[in-house]
Amino acid sequence: MDVLFAKFANYDATMQDIAIVLPAMSMKEVFIVRIVTVSRKVLRYVIVAVIMATVMSVGLWATDHDMTTSAHAATLPAQDRYSLRDVETNQKVAALTFDISWGTVMPPKVLAILKTDHVPATIFVSGPWAKQHPDIVKAYAQAGIEVESHGWAHVNYSGLSNQGIVDNLMKTDQVIQQITGQKPSFVRPPNGDFNSRSILAARSVGYTTVTWGTDSLDWMNPGVATIIRRVTTRIHPGDIILMHASDTCKQTDIALPTILQSLREKGYKLVTLKQLLTYGKPIYRG
């Protein structure tokens, strides 16, 4: 607005056409304000009036659009708005899950611990990592570990187009099927990022979006004691526990044996994600 005032500060508006390009709803419309024999003061009032009217109309449209979109999202069922986080059950059962997207050192270490303790679990693998290390993925699958998708590119799904989300999933889908012979059913979006649009896009190609109920924070390498404490004090019936088996997580394999022992002492049974859903109603939360 200050720029417009500067342009017209010394303008004599007599039978002149003043073209003012305004950011109207189409972003391309040009409004012509014809000023006939007006003083500089009146001219300024006219300019301000036109600008304010247009800004208000655009602002009201944007607000109305946002409110309409939010209102529509609010009418969707929970499974179309939120991720799967828990299962409603009174039984002491939980799913231990691991994201893997990097490295060849930690994945075998975690697998060895799970096999030694005969613990069912679920891994979410990124497409590029799985493609590069099919032998590790196959070893997990052969040990009875459920293999699910962590997508292809490690980017926030809320920032991708619907087609971008689908492409991300299907590239990884193809890799996992080639290795395990099984089609994944769940996706854990990178960074746990999602919105109702990404959830619906994933569902359109057969995926349920899964995050977690308990985050071990092992990805932060906060210390073995912290990882153990977070899991063992936050676990609850029907819980989905987030851990990682990538090389960037340096303390997971050290904390895991103690976690498994503690959960056994608490009377918990660990199962795969698909098995967990047989114990009760899935809970979708933001």
| All structural domains of the chain with their residue ranges | 2-75, 78-285
What is the rounded average pLDDT for all residues in the chain?
Answer: 82
Helix (H) or strand (E) holding 112, with range, is: helix 106-116
Q: How confident is the model over 127-138, as a mean pLDDT?
A: 99
Distance (Å, rounded) from C-alpha 186 to C-alpha 1?
51
Lowest mean pLDDT among 52-61, 83-92, 95-104, 229-238: 52-61
Q: Beta-strand (E) ranges in 142-205?
A: 146-149, 186-187
Q: What tens digit of pLDDT does each residue of 258-282 get?
A: 999 999 999 999 999 999 999 999 9
239 is catalytic: no
Residue 157 is predicted with a pLDDT of: 97
- pLDDT at residue 19 tops 60: no
Q: How confident is the model over 92-117, as a mean pLDDT?
A: 98
Q: How confident is the model over 5-34, as a mean pLDDT?
A: 36
99 is catalytic: yes
Residue 35 is predicted with a pLDDT of: 34
Collect contacts of 167-174 with beta carbons under 8 A, ≥24 apart: 168/127, 169/202, 169/205, 169/207, 170/205, 171/127, 172/125, 172/126, 172/127, 172/130, 173/149, 173/205
- pLDDT at residue 239 tops 90: yes
Lowest mean pLDDT among 68-77, 154-163, 271-280: 68-77
The SS3 call for residue 83 is: strand
Q: Are 72 and 125 in contact, with CB atoms under 8 Å apart?
A: no
The pTM assigned to this predicted structure is 0.76
**CATH entry 3.20.20.370 includes domain 78-285:** yes
Which candidate in 86, 133, 244, 253 is catalytic?
A: 244
Residue 256 is predicted with a pLDDT of: 99
Which candidate in 99, 218, 239, 253 is catalytic?
A: 99
